[in-house]
Amino acid sequence: MTQQVNSNRQEVARHLMFVSGYVHRLLRHEARKLDLRWTALMVLKDLQLLGPVSQRTLAEIEQVTAPTMTVLINQMVQREWVDTESSAADARVSLVAITPAGRKALGKSGRRLRLRLEEELVGVPASDLDDLHQGLDALAAVIHGKVHNPKNTRPAQ
């Protein structure tokens, strides 16, 4: 039984690598067509979820250098998507916060990207969509648990 579970996990991982890579490239390309930098969208999403955070934290989350994040934040300030403010706890630390315009841009781009993904699903039979939905719900629940409990990173046996 364990061997079958491991084999299934390997096959799912193989397919998931292909699909996630394809989806990632597809959405990055779509974002470029909308004149949006992918990392800017990710930063807006981070700020929506986390609230105001330091540029250093954003750079760590997005795995970019501090100078790269500074350039990106400056561009986003110019577009009025984010504001920066000094931290109440440490005036040397600048916090970045999403603005109403940033929330609007994130919502608009999110809708467009979801529509593009829906186009990719045309032709998938309804029963397969139902199975996919259930599987993605299960995967999302596991990931959600890991995000909210980082010490729990071992896969279930």
How do residues 60-88 score in pLDDT, each as one tens digit? 999 999 999 999 999 999 999 999 987 77
pLDDT at residue 153 is higher than 60: no
Beta-carbon contacts of residue 43 (< 8 Å; ≥ 6 apart): 58, 62, 72, 73, 76, 82, 96
- Rounded CA separation 101/65 (Å): 26
**95 contacts 84 by C-beta, under 8 angstroms:** yes
pLDDT at residue 154 is higher than 70: no
pLDDT at residue 89 is higher than 60: yes
